[in-house]
Each structure stands twice: as C-alpha cells, then as structure tokens.
Amino acid sequence: MPIFVQNILIILLAAWMAWDNGTGGQVLNNWPVTIGLVMGLIMGDVTTALVIAGTLQLMSLGVAGIGGSSVPEYGLATIVSVYLAISTHANTGTAIAVGLPVGMLTLQLDVIAKIINNFFAHLSQKYLHEKKFRKMEISFYCSVGVWMLKYIIPVLLVVAFGTPLVKAILNVIPTWFTNGLTIAGGMLPVVGVGMLMHYMPVKKYFTYLIVGFVFSAYLKLPVLGVALLGAAAALAIYRINSQKDADKAVAVTSAEQGDDYDE
C-alpha cells in the first residue's frame, strides 16, 4: 500500500475513533485491541500491531473517565506506537514509550475540547427548549467534530513529522536508555493488571488465579487456552450461583406457604 494512502487511512482511523465513541455507535470505540487490529491491517503487520495493542490494553485496564474526568487516550497511543514501530522498525518497548506520551498529551487537549463543547451543550439545550430539533442535532455534531480534532491533530503531526524525527532521536539515544525504555514498556502493563485486580474479587476466586498462572507460566499454555479455561470456570460458577439462588427462592416460597398453612 502506498505510504500516502496509509497516512490518509491512519488519520481517518483517528477521526473515526472519535466519531464512533462520540455518537454512540461504538463499533471500534477507542479500545487499543480494536484500533490496533485496524492499524495492523493498514500498516501490513498485524502481529506487531496486536502485540503493542495488547500491551496498551493491559495498561488501560482499570482506567476510566468517570464523572467527566480526563484520562490518557490509549487508543491514540496505540495508533502512534504501531505507526512508529512498523515505519521505523523500532522495538515494541521503545515504540510504546514514545507513543504513550502522545496519549498523555490528550489530557490537555481533552480539557480544551470540553471547554469548547460546553458552548455547544448550552446551545443544544437552547434549541431543545425552542423545539428546533434540526439545529439541536447540528449543534451536537459540531461538538463531535471538536472532539475529533483532539485525535486528528496529534496523529496528523506524528504522520507528518514523526518518522524522520523518531529515527533521528533513536540514532542519538544511547543503547542503555533504549533498553531502559523497553524494560519500562514491559513493566507498565503490570500496573494496569494490578489496578484491575484491585477492583476484582481476587480473594474469593484466588484458587482460579493460581490455576491460570500455573497453566500460563509453567505449562506454557497460550493466552487463548487460558482464556477459554477462564470462560469455562466463569460459566461453572455462574451456574452454581444460579442454582443456589433458585434453591433459596424455593426455600423462601416453601416457608411462606408453610406459614399460610399454619394460619
């Protein structure tokens, strides 16, 4: 695929990520794994793209923009990291270490976008009270357009200047520093997993956690195999809990009927 076409598709992907997440369609959303798959197809290296996307997906677990708070855009970091890794042949750790700050940059852009969209929110409310629904809809799409710029601008800058700049930086960065970035890139997913486990009932199902670890670390079972075992265990637990709830409901009903007979 010509580089020019690739660059256009990457920019369109960033725009679609914002549109999809902002209009409620959520086909791709801004999840690293879905964005990474499309980036791999565009760049012609799905394996590298999914390795990077999976790493960033782990880093994003447990992170959510609750109550309108601003959080790093890991989907945008996926686009930048995959683009740099494949176009410059940098290793995944270095690509993530370079791409992640771009996702962090959107924290500032997110605040600016929300300030601008506050105007469109009040404008939409005004048109709603006036029953001018067509103008209200246009105002909403204008706010989505502002949201799209938050993704398009960083990606456009990276596509336009990123590859030569990153190559120049990589040529002058010492090996020990790039090795450090690779190690840091490997450690960061642990933070995401740790945050996720903090909100999960790990103590209750600690046995299953140990079993999964043994299968993965010692028996070298692929991730898909471990995931299938986890799904089977989850289904078994669901059925057991459903049966317990059904038995409790029967017991309560029987007790109530017994009380009626006693009366």
* pLDDT bracket for residue 260 (50, 70, 90): low
CB 109 within 8 A of CB 155: no
Q: Which residue carries 């336009």 as its tokens?
A: 160
* pLDDT per position as a tens digit, 4-35: 788 888 888 888 887 777 666 677 777 888 88
Residue of higher predicted confidence among 169 and 164: 164
Nearest alpha-carbon partner for 92 in 164, 156, 183: 183
Nearest alpha-carbon partner for 83 in 49, 35, 56: 49
* pLDDT per position as a tens digit, 28-62: 777 888 888 988 898 888 888 888 888 888 777 76
Residue 68 pLDDT > 60: no
Residue 97 pLDDT > 80: no
Residue 156 pLDDT > 80: yes
Average pLDDT over residues 114-141: 86
Parse the chain into domains and list their residue ranges: 3-200, 201-263
Structure tokens at 159: 């596509």
| Nearest-angstrom CA–CA distance, 73 and 29 | 11
| Nearest-angstrom CA–CA distance, 42 and 20 | 18
Residue 169 pLDDT > 80: no
In 44-196, which ranges are E strands? none
Residue 184 pLDDT > 70: no
* pLDDT per position as a tens digit, 192-233: 677 677 777 888 888 888 888 898 888 888 878 888 998 998
pLDDT score for 248 = 83
CB 135 within 8 A of CB 127: yes
Residue 107 pLDDT > 80: no
Residue 38: C-alpha distances to residues 75, 79, 82, 102 (Å): 11, 9, 10, 19
CB 126 within 8 A of CB 155: no
CB 127 within 8 A of CB 136: yes
Residue 232 makes CB contacts below 8 A (sequence gap 6+) with none
CB 38 within 8 A of CB 13: yes
| Nearest-angstrom CA–CA distance, 170 and 172 | 6
